Structure 1
């Protein structure tokens, strides 16, 4: 196998409406027709990816939660996981609550069934997320005391209009066992997000494992944000989106068009010689 292409989702493969555009879907089908290997590496959970990629068939495993979880979406089965330390989960959530932040806990039990935990559902945002998870067949538990969690914790997630999450990313940096990503919500004006998981999980390590298992000679990565840095550093070629972070562009092979303009699709068409 010559190449493995790896695409980030939000800000890269997906459009500004969290969807896979018809043009980009056509480009991916052309990759399949040409026998070119590709997969995704995202900060989302499997159900979050499935929502934005309906009816899309993967030939290879996918990377979720920035490398903490390897999953086969087609077979709906886990390949590997890297849960957080329970003590660190409790400490992180304690600090978040001191800032008025109500975190979501994404879990996976000993039968590899994904779940979610939150202390309470009180805001419209939390209600909307709880309804979405319910529609995906995921049980949402309400637990006031996270010390009682028995399942593996994959990550701690925050979606809020509380700007304190941006400062929390620096505050939590003193905990060596966790990795923290935070920023402005690209889909909701005035919103913020934060994602916290095991520091040993990176997109780079996870996609390198897939490359090795496939026996692909070359890995080519596409992304737009700081959680893509690890795979850019390990890739043979890497391409930053036009609207991406300058830090990512600085180490990329080149910068391509933005996700607003179907930058991935047009790059692939030019590289592999097909029409859209």
Structure 2
């Protein structure tokens, strides 16, 4: 039996300070050297995921942007991609009418960018963008036309719940929608992705690509529920939301207590 192990990053593998402990790094590196197939599935881009997982020797593809892309972790080649169709411009019009100006992730002239209008940023957006200072993907724009340019694949809105919640309900059947509070800042986020983009779909495709028989996953948030449902075993860290714990195989130690690494060290012998 060949098992694929997949972990969420923020709130699961990463500690609350957005770092990996040396214990987690050493444990996972040691097990992958012995043949364990370990990947991660994250809402982050590959750029920021690689920064926070520095030291982790993952040579198999990874899942980023909540399943929008599966990418080669070494060459950074996009192996599986999901993009919006032209209907997404109706969504932009809806958002703009309500005074919501999102961060828009697109490929512009073949280069990955995240675009935003500085004058329209909410406090939550400013906090998030401050963590991305120096990011080569940054694209400050001045007009709606520039904001929506390129081949769009991900939209992030950070605003007041009363403004965002109606859109989470309106578009939940048409697109992949995640409505949640940021694990670090507690600001309300609404993330919109192409319908086919999900951690579950990406993991199943990666499972087939690697020729694996089983999936064991780890997570902490509501956006991990679909991943848990397609897994043979799924473990929620102790700090996970209750909705995820309800669909988990079991509860393990928290992200700040190396829960994933300790579980892997204790259970690899039986898998």
Range into which the TM-score falls when normalised by the shorter chain: 0.7 to 0.9
Deviations 1:78-113 (A, max 9, x none): 11211112332x3333333344432000012463x2
What TM-score do you get using the length of structure 2 for normalisation?
0.88
Q: Does 1:142 align with 2:141?
A: yes
Q: How far apart are the structure 2 equivalents of 1:100 and 1:186?
A: 25
Once the two structures are overlaid, the 10-residue window that deviates more, 142-151 or 259-268, is 142-151
Flag the 1:206–1:57 CA change in 2: closer, same or farther, 3 A: same
Match of 2:41 in 1: 41
Q: How far apart are the structure 2 equivalents of 1:47 and 1:250?
A: 32
Deviation at 1:127, TM superposition (A): 5.2
User: Which blocks of at least 5 consecutive residues in structure 2 are unaligned?
Assistant: none
Flag the 1:170–1:193 CA change in 2: closer, same or farther, 3 A: closer
Q: Does 1:188 align with 2:182?
A: no
What TM-score do you get using the length of structure 1 for normalisation?
0.86
Match of 1:2 in 2: 2
Deviation at 1:76, TM superposition (A): 2.0
Aligned residues: 268
Q: How far apart are the structure 1 equivalents of 2:76 and 2:27?
A: 24
Secondary structure of the corresponding residue to residue 137 of structure 1: coil
Once the two structures are overlaid, the 10-residue window that deviates more, 130-139 or 31-40, is 130-139
Flag the 1:40–1:255 CA change in 2: closer, same or farther, 3 A: same
Q: Which structure 2 residues correspond to residues 30-179 of structure 1 after superposition, within 5 A?
A: 30-88=30-88, 90-109=89-108, 111=110, 113-121=111-119, 122=121, 126=125, 130=129, 133=132, 135-146=134-145, 149-160=148-159, 162-164=160-162, 167-173=165-171, 176-179=173-176
Secondary structure of the corresponding residue to residue 246 of structure 2: helix
Flag the 1:51–1:100 CA change in 2: closer, same or farther, 3 A: farther
Flag the 1:264–1:149 CA change in 2: closer, same or farther, 3 A: same
Q: Contact 1:86 / 1:153 at 8 angstroms: preserved in 2?
A: no
Deviation at 1:26, TM superposition (A): 1.9
Match of 1:211 in 2: 207
Deviation at 1:140, TM superposition (A): 0.5
Once the two structures are overlaid, the 10-residue window that deviates more, 61-70 or 17-26, is 17-26
Secondary structure of the corresponding residue to residue 4 of structure 2: strand
Question: What's the Cα RMSD here?
Answer: 2.5
Q: How far apart are the structure 2 equivalents of 1:146 and 1:246?
A: 41
Q: Contact 1:107 / 1:116 at 8 angstroms: preserved in 2?
A: yes
Which of the numbers 223, 229, 236 marks the counterpart of 1:233?
A: 229
Secondary structure of the corresponding residue to residue 11 of structure 1: helix
Once the two structures are overlaid, the 10-residue window that deviates more, 209-218 or 92-101, is 92-101
Flag the 1:236–1:139 CA change in 2: closer, same or farther, 3 A: same
